[in-house]
Amino acid sequence: MQEKVYNVLFLCTGNSARSIMAEALVTTMGKGRFKGFSAGSHPGGAVNPFAIEQVANTGYPIIDLRSKSWDEFGTPDAPHMDFIFTVCDNAAGETCPYWPGHPMSAHWGFEDPAAVVGTDEEKRAAFQRIFRQITARMNIFVSLPLHMLEKNAIQREIQAIGETSV
């Protein structure tokens, strides 16, 4: 019997960095159990080159990365999401579209590495730090025995992951 593949959507305002990195990480770290997606409330239209650097190291196909609106995932023909995570505080405070299927959701806040002003080395270091933080939370998430947990237990666990110090 084939194990269920869980669809996971990561939301951020611009969909250029944190949500992009999370999409790649859940897909690669989930080893076929998870398919990651990302979107933004006001997508910037381009993926940050420092995010692309981080994603390239995961083996995720960077050609699949693009900055897109969360409206794409609120339509009846969109992939059904099992989980939705906001990864920036701005997106967490916005009114989200209706998500078909009533997926479980939580806020996993991370600082915005794209907001760092400085040299390329300083920017790269910020992206590396946030990438490590997302990786730490993703390790916990992809290890959850979702097939054995009931919905309320899963909801408590995913919220607790977002409250974890990284």
Residues with a known catalytic role: 12, 88, 96
Structure tokens at 154: 């899963």
* Cβ pair 154, 130 in contact under 8 A: no
The span from the CA of 2 to the CA of 105, in Å, is 25
Say how far apart CA 54 and CA 74 lie, in whole Å.
28
Contact 80, 101 (CB under 8 A): yes
7 φ, ψ to 5°? -90, 130
